[in-house]
Structure 1
Amino acid sequence: MRGQYGGPRVLLRRLREVMAEPVTAQERLDRIVVLIAANMVAEVCSVYVLRVDGDLELYATEGLNREAVHRTTMHKGEGLVGLVADEAEPVNLSDAQSHPAFAYKPETGEEIYHSFLGVPILRAGNTLGVLVVQNKSHRTYSEEEIEALQTTAMVIAEMIAGGELSGAGDGLEPVGRRPAHAFGGALSEGIGLGHVWLHEPRVVVKTFIAENTESELKRLDTALANLRASIDVLIDEGDVARAGEHRDVLEAFRMFANDRGWVRRLHEAVQTGITAEAAVERVQSDTRARMQRQTDPYLRERLHDLDDLANRLLRELVAPGKGMMTDVTDLPDNAILVARSMGPAALLDYDRTKLRGLVLEEGSASSHVAIVARALGIAAVGQIENATGLVEPGDAIIVDGLSGEVHVRPTADVERAYVDKVRFRARRQEQYRAVRDAPSTTRDGEKVQLLLNAGLLVDLPHIAETGAAGVGLFRTELQFMIAASMPKTAAQQKLYRAVLDAADGKPVTFRTLDVGGDKILPYMRNEPEENPALGWRAIRLGLDRPALLRTQIRALLNAGGGRDLRIMFPMVACVSEFDDARDIVNRELARLVKHGHPVPASVALGVMIEVPSLLFQLDEILAKVDFVSVGSNDLLQFLFAVDRGNARVSGRFDTLSPAFLRSLARIAERAKAAGKPVTLCGEMGSKPLEALTLIGLGYRSLSMSPASIGPVKAALLEADASELADFIKPLVARADGAATLRGEIEAFAAERGLQVSP
């Protein structure tokens, strides 16, 4: 049976006319429910909107008591309306009152209605409300009617998400614009206040109702064909033709793009009378709503693949042949980047002066993009589930890189609190700047060298800005990671010379290429490994591919002509590996001399102690090297057999555990006995409490991120090195089975008024 408007297809055309009328959002919603009720011959049509407190509020109705609008509410999960919202699935009943979930609301007058059809109002897989039709007669609504109601729900979802609707004035606004608060992992310290900028912007569907269904089907099929062809080209040609992570991702795309069930659902959606773009959005929103309720981590991970594929298909529909990424030149001031994931090169493409923060669905503190974020000095947080679905472009957002929190559309109170926090940090930074040029010496006269960890040209100004004594760790691999192809010798030499120039005579320690494992170069063949962190990486790769290491050594020696040069080899596990690497340096030096090229005034060679086997070869290695550095990140990882990139276990063991501190104490003692300088280069040295602990263990050289120089220096200026040693060394030597000594060391610092919070 059809109403006066002629059925679902006509409903969609009438809906388009209503959306174009110059009326308020509430008036438009009131007209929509009247239109639906007339078209579907329903005595009742109602819209319930999910509020910020989790309740569903009646926002518009045709057929129920109009005085119940903005007065009737129910909890999510309460009644049939609550069931639809909770399950994010349509509910179609011929006798609603016999259903166990039925809830009677006397103020609405709905007790006389039997049949019930409710569909969720979804956007990006998030439930924003429920759209309902009811009849007195016992009837089952047709599939065509369900489809029409779902399409209408998409239009209402845009109204809610756009902030057009307002509640009853009690402050309980629709959930589409509610504040959101999420916890993740801190990647880069700092606080960023700004507005959302999506790294991979969603296509905003503006036209929902199709003029011609056949032409929309043709557009969809053409876009699908182009999408499949583009994926085939990416897989079969270019850099990802070889096996590896990039190819695996694209193979998943190809599988989904050819999935018959997915394509059938897209066709069926278009045949209901909506545009191809609206069909893609609706199918993906329904899929996301279902998969977000899955507990299987594999299925939830596949949701990311489907999201990416749907976005690519939308791009093909609205801008054929265009890429997925946003135009980085359009970045507004005070932008907070939000992305599922991104590489370091992509982050460097953005204007640093306009960027205030970064939010990722993935990412760990040791990831490459986190390293670049710290180099840029922007707040960054990772592991925020569904980050791209929580936000809309332009939303106000706060990124707390200290606690790992993200506030989307924050309340005024939260925003004021963070403004005060930023001002406090600014005052603290002023205090740190005041001691920038002061000698880095403890109260009892012990000099502690504070150096920078670096790896990019953007790091170089920090040497002068922080008053650092030099660069204790220059990660040469970052140049390789952000390049589209293997950097030539000349390009490497240019970078190394620029670093030495910026240091202006201060020492710089270059770590040779540390790639492999989790640091994959897109232009190098990647052989899958069961335990990549323990596999073919760093010095192992360099010695097995001597041309690669030799080219880098040649660039370093040429850049260091006439100056002091320090070269360090990573992940050395036995003395013979250092011997082999040193032989390469000596051969390259001899080559320069033979051809009359300038050579460095001196070349100091060292190793990074990060593999536990070197703890039992300290005397042998110290007899051969000029210096050693401790890579606390990897040493902790290997000592406790814990993957630092795995969020489930990365925080399981503390750097202030007795076992780890004893290992560090042993290194410091043996290096001092051998008369060889030792520097700690990991993240441990960037934290004031840990830095004071290291000073107590005998370390007099620490390398850290630029932002950490001030807090660490302020702490050590107030500390007494001998007093630290008298407390720390016996504490570490004590064997009582404690998992960590953090509490006791914090209490010691508090008693002496030492500032150990950054």
Structure 2
Amino acid sequence: MPDHVPGPRALLRRLRELMAEALDPQTRLDRIVREIAKNMVAEVCSLYVLRADSVLELYATEGLNPGSVHLAQLRLGQGLVGTIAASARALNLSDAQNHPAFAYLPETGEEIYNSFLGVPVLRAGRTLGVLVVQNKTKRIYRDDEVEALETIAMVIAEMIAAGDLARLIRPGMELDLTRPASFRGLAFNEGVGLGHVVLHEPRIVVTNLFNEDIEEELKRLDEALGSLRLSIDDMMSRREVAFEGEHRAVLEAYRMFAHDRGWVRRLEEAIHNGLSSEAAVEKVQSDMRARMTHMTDPYLRERMSDFDDLANRLLRQLMGRGPEMVAATLPKDAIVVARQMGAAELLDYPREKLRGLVLEEGSITSHVVIVARAMGIPVAGQLKGVVSMSENGDAIIVDGEDGTVQLRPQPDVEAAYAEKVRFRARRQELYRELRDKPSVSKDGVHVDLMMNAGLAVDLPQLAESGAAGIGLFRTELQFMVAATFPRAEAQERLYRDVLESAKGKPVTFRTIDIGGDKVLPYFRGAAQEENPALGWRAIRLTLDRPGLLRTQVRALLRAAGGGELRVMLPMVTELGEIAQAREIIDREVRHLSRHAYLLPTTLKVGAMVEVPALLWQLDELMEAVDFVSVGSNDLFQFVMATDRGNAQLSDRFDPLSVPFLRVLKQIADAGARANTPVTLCGELAGRPISAMTLIGLGYRSISMSPAAIGPVKAMLCELQVSRLEELLSAALASGGAFRNLRRDLQAFAAENSVPL
């Protein structure tokens, strides 16, 4: 091969001409590989395309046996080509046949070639195929030759993604781009949704691939980079951005990337090779993503999301676009697919069109998951790779009951899930028939089934679910979905709407529970904490910032004028915190009274049992408050010392284990001794088997998501509480801490025909 080869610009110009000609797909591919071989003075140029069955099929070749086209095949990971496809990394070899991965395909006649250069055909980090050049002489291809072949591979990737090869696909030999994919993650909210993908951050489609003027493209890139850097500097100089903490670190990472000379140099090289500025960004981004997803260092892999965001910002700068709004063109059965998103962003989508939410990251306590649960849509999370594998409009199924997602499902899979949805609908119809029936067990034990809420969208479900009231109104959700602190008037308006919608049913308002994992971006008072779940949050924060609590209490008192007001304090650790909060509440009562406001006729103050320290103050606690509510989510993670947002630990410990049930029993018994009402509001209350267990422990009020009330009531109506109490009493007293109590409870339900 000569030392100097014609530059890739001439080849790209020739490829553009070929793509514009009225050619059938196979002829176009044949001409493309011929032009590549000619331009690079290669004796062989071959294109392999990845099929849905993970087989790389030879689609075109110049130099190998033409009869092997569409017959020669390699499995993913097999041979040099399969190795490139599996690793998304180029291979540059002077003696290919002695490489340990070499696999000889006799039908191709490639045994006489020694030098080998193969690059992955990448789009959005996904491998769609492999492009190869070969020569008889032994040599290592130069870096500029590797770069040229990667640039051409990027153009071919866009051809594949655009469907240009559709006429060459034989039945049963679909391309990888359209193959069904299954993902298993974590179930964040129950339900099943069938619909079509809506990417929360739509992939920007680059249509202008080639440049006419290198200097003009370099100028465009430089101007866009300048604007990008200015926008980042502007963000970092704003007063509302803390000068320390996690947000600052993220912006510093953005700024580091934006000024990285290596990144800019790769962009400029791609432009010199004939790509437009937009195509250069797309190529470098795709190359970087493919490399970083194969790295084992979790820190470096996490930085990929920072890089992706920056590259997308640069693309929008170059293409003159603002953030894309998809709500206007949303399909009627939209399933939003995102790496992660904010709670307010989900509310931008019209509820009537949403069928589900799929998160590549996230946890069950993420703000967006809490809002999705309030909206009653199925959610699955921790699904690595689902974003890059999805395209807008792809058919998709999200199963929020087992945390699975089926992307581009086969017809039989889709039919099975459609039947599951119909079954759930029939079951929900049965639950609706129970709505107005009393929540009483077979042996006459009455249990109040309350619902959890936090937003205006929850309120219609109070009547629809047949809930006895709102056992937990999370007031912080109003703060989480707002751009700034909600003013007192806005808070009062929401609280009044909640009370009016309740129509006399009890409503328990939890005072603002921010901090920990509930970070408000506009709240400048919070510093970065190593262990935020145990840090400055909830009642600790509001007692230190009494203005927040005073404003909220005043709004609650005014909204509840003439009726009953129930206020609950979260994250209480010591009884002194209750006394301090009561002083603030009493001061606001006196203030409103002096100004002749209508006050609540009844004011009840309660506390949440979430911190284990309260377990040694239970009798004093029951005397100090009007009611108690057990926050089982936090209490469980603190008692078991397990981070509930950690996917590795999510299923490690069972909340229906003997030790934790003893804790719950202890709280219920203390409430009974003091005649203080006790409610449990957490994930435990919303599942029939755990709700059954709570009733057996003595809980007569439990609060859950509206969708869970029907299944729990159906269980309760068939339950003999006295028999269950005998089972639990014996189990908790036996000392069998290692006993599989969940299995015993399931057996009890089966023997007594209790539906779970």
Q: State the TM bucket, normalised to the shorter chain.
A: over 0.9
Q: Which range moved further: 642-651 or 251-260?
A: 642-651
Counterpart of 1:702 in structure 2 is 702
Q: Which range moved further: 359-368 or 658-667?
A: 359-368
**CA deviation after TM superposition for structure 1 residue 564, in Å:** 0.9
Counterpart of 2:25 in structure 1 is 25
TM-score (norm 1): 0.97
Identity score, percent: 61
* Pairing of 1:203-214 with structure 2 (within 5 A): 203-214=204-215
**CA deviation after TM superposition for structure 1 residue 147, in Å:** 2.4
**CA deviation after TM superposition for structure 1 residue 243, in Å:** 2.8
Preserved contact between residue 492 and residue 555 of structure 1 (Cα < 8 Å): yes
1:679 aligns to 2:679 (yes or no): yes
CA deviation vs aligned residue, 1:6-58 (integer Å, no higher than 9, x gap)? 55221100111122233343332222112222322333221111222222111
1:460 aligns to 2:459 (yes or no): yes
Counterpart of 2:97 in structure 1 is 97
Distance verdict in 2 for CA 1:684–1:180, change over 3 Å: same
> Could you say what secondary structure the match of 1:523 adopts?
coil
Counterpart of 1:507 in structure 2 is 506
Whichever residue aligns with residue 113 of structure 1, its letter is Y
Counterpart of 1:339 in structure 2 is 338
Distance, in Å, in 1 between the alignment partners of 2:515 and 2:399 is: 31
Distance, in Å, in 1 between the alignment partners of 2:588 and 2:66 is: 87
**CA deviation after TM superposition for structure 1 residue 5, in Å:** 11
Counterpart of 1:355 in structure 2 is 354
Distance verdict in 2 for CA 1:410–1:486, change over 3 Å: same
Preserved contact between residue 658 and residue 736 of structure 2 (Cα < 8 Å): no
Counterpart of 2:119 in structure 1 is 119
**CA deviation after TM superposition for structure 1 residue 327, in Å:** 4.1
CA deviation vs aligned residue, 1:701-745 (integer Å, no higher than 9, x gap)? 110001101111111111111111111221122212316411111
1:304 aligns to 2:277 (yes or no): no
Distance, in Å, in 1 between the alignment partners of 2:739 and 2:50 is: 46
> Could you say what secondary structure the match of 2:240 adopts?
helix
Whichever residue aligns with residue 261 of structure 1, its letter is G
1:665 aligns to 2:659 (yes or no): no
1:248 aligns to 2:253 (yes or no): no
Counterpart of 2:472 in structure 1 is 473
Counterpart of 2:185 in structure 1 is 184
Distance, in Å, in 1 between the alignment partners of 2:162 and 2:720 is: 58
**CA deviation after TM superposition for structure 1 residue 190, in Å:** 1.0
**CA deviation after TM superposition for structure 1 residue 361, in Å:** 1.7
CA deviation vs aligned residue, 1:144-168 (integer Å, no higher than 9, x gap)? 3322221221122123334443566
> Could you say what secondary structure the match of 1:603 adopts?
strand
**CA deviation after TM superposition for structure 1 residue 672, in Å:** 1.0
* Pairing of 1:554-573 with structure 2 (within 5 A): 554-573=554-573
**CA deviation after TM superposition for structure 1 residue 248, in Å:** 2.0
Distance, in Å, in 1 between the alignment partners of 2:700 and 2:493 is: 32
Counterpart of 1:86 in structure 2 is 86
RMSD over equivalenced CA pairs, Å:
1.8
> Could you say what secondary structure the match of 1:353 adopts?
helix
**CA deviation after TM superposition for structure 1 residue 232, in Å:** 0.6
Counterpart of 1:258 in structure 2 is 259
> Could you say what secondary structure the match of 1:117 adopts?
strand
Preserved contact between residue 181 and residue 407 of structure 2 (Cα < 8 Å): yes
Preserved contact between residue 341 and residue 362 of structure 1 (Cα < 8 Å): yes
> Could you say what secondary structure the match of 1:48 adopts?
strand
Distance, in Å, in 2 between the alignment partners of 1:605 and 1:100 is: 73
Q: Which range moved further: 42-51 or 295-304?
A: 42-51
Preserved contact between residue 5 and residue 41 of structure 2 (Cα < 8 Å): no
Preserved contact between residue 7 and residue 273 of structure 2 (Cα < 8 Å): no
* Pairing of 1:247-326 with structure 2 (within 5 A): 247-319=248-320, 322-323=322-323, 325-326=324-325
Q: Which range moved further: 229-238 or 46-55?
A: 46-55
* Pairing of 1:331-730 with structure 2 (within 5 A): 331-525=330-524, 526-730=526-730
Distance, in Å, in 2 between the alignment partners of 1:180 and 1:164 is: 22
CA deviation vs aligned residue, 1:336-375 (integer Å, no higher than 9, x gap)? 1111111111111110011111111221112211111011
Unmatched 5+ stretches in structure 1:
none
Preserved contact between residue 12 and residue 148 of structure 1 (Cα < 8 Å): no
Preserved contact between residue 480 and residue 521 of structure 1 (Cα < 8 Å): yes
> Could you say what secondary structure the match of 1:107 adopts?
coil
Distance, in Å, in 1 between the alignment partners of 2:700 and 2:24 is: 69
> Could you say what secondary structure the match of 2:567 adopts?
strand
Distance verdict in 2 for CA 1:106–1:736, change over 3 Å: same
Distance, in Å, in 1 between the alignment partners of 2:3 and 2:268 is: 26
Preserved contact between residue 144 and residue 272 of structure 1 (Cα < 8 Å): no
1:218 aligns to 2:219 (yes or no): yes
Q: Which range moved further: 31-40 or 418-427?
A: 31-40
Whichever residue aligns with residue 690 of structure 1, its letter is S
Distance verdict in 2 for CA 1:5–1:611, change over 3 Å: closer
**CA deviation after TM superposition for structure 1 residue 66, in Å:** 1.9
**CA deviation after TM superposition for structure 1 residue 670, in Å:** 1.2
Distance verdict in 2 for CA 1:697–1:730, change over 3 Å: same
Distance, in Å, in 2 between the alignment partners of 1:719 and 1:347 is: 39
Counterpart of 2:231 in structure 1 is 230
**CA deviation after TM superposition for structure 1 residue 488, in Å:** 1.1
Distance, in Å, in 1 between the alignment partners of 2:543 and 2:135 is: 78
Whichever residue aligns with residue 300 of structure 1, its letter is R
Distance, in Å, in 2 between the alignment partners of 1:49 and 1:481 is: 46
**CA deviation after TM superposition for structure 1 residue 607, in Å:** 0.6
Distance verdict in 2 for CA 1:531–1:101, change over 3 Å: closer
**CA deviation after TM superposition for structure 1 residue 200, in Å:** 1.2
Preserved contact between residue 70 and residue 168 of structure 1 (Cα < 8 Å): no
Q: Which range moved further: 200-209 or 435-444?
A: 200-209
Residues paired across the two proteins, number: 754
Preserved contact between residue 339 and residue 359 of structure 2 (Cα < 8 Å): yes
Whichever residue aligns with residue 308 of structure 1, its letter is D
Distance, in Å, in 1 between the alignment partners of 2:580 and 2:6 is: 84
**CA deviation after TM superposition for structure 1 residue 500, in Å:** 0.1
1:735 aligns to 2:735 (yes or no): yes
CA deviation vs aligned residue, 1:520-548 (integer Å, no higher than 9, x gap)? 11111221122211111111111111111
Distance verdict in 2 for CA 1:11–1:5, change over 3 Å: farther
Distance verdict in 2 for CA 1:31–1:627, change over 3 Å: same
**CA deviation after TM superposition for structure 1 residue 247, in Å:** 2.4
Distance, in Å, in 2 between the alignment partners of 1:271 and 1:389 is: 28
Counterpart of 1:172 in structure 2 is 173
Q: Which range moved further: 190-199 or 46-55?
A: 46-55
Distance, in Å, in 2 between the alignment partners of 1:658 and 1:207 is: 64
Q: Which range moved further: 138-147 or 60-69?
A: 138-147
Whichever residue aligns with residue 17 of structure 1, its letter is E
Preserved contact between residue 431 and residue 710 of structure 2 (Cα < 8 Å): yes
Counterpart of 1:199 in structure 2 is 200
> Could you say what secondary structure the match of 1:59 adopts?
strand
Preserved contact between residue 199 and residue 326 of structure 1 (Cα < 8 Å): no
**CA deviation after TM superposition for structure 1 residue 139, in Å:** 4.6
**CA deviation after TM superposition for structure 1 residue 116, in Å:** 2.1
CA deviation vs aligned residue, 1:629-654 (integer Å, no higher than 9, x gap)? 11000110111111112222233221
Distance, in Å, in 2 between the alignment partners of 1:5 and 1:411 is: 47
TM-score (norm 2): 0.97
1:71 aligns to 2:71 (yes or no): yes
Preserved contact between residue 193 and residue 356 of structure 1 (Cα < 8 Å): yes
Distance, in Å, in 1 between the alignment partners of 2:557 and 2:739 is: 45
Counterpart of 2:328 in structure 1 is 329
Preserved contact between residue 4 and residue 39 of structure 1 (Cα < 8 Å): no
**CA deviation after TM superposition for structure 1 residue 484, in Å:** 0.9
Distance, in Å, in 1 between the alignment partners of 2:36 and 2:603 is: 81
CA deviation vs aligned residue, 1:658-708 (integer Å, no higher than 9, x gap)? 111011111111111111111100110000000000111111111000110
Distance, in Å, in 2 between the alignment partners of 1:296 and 1:565 is: 52
Whichever residue aligns with residue 185 of structure 2, its letter is G
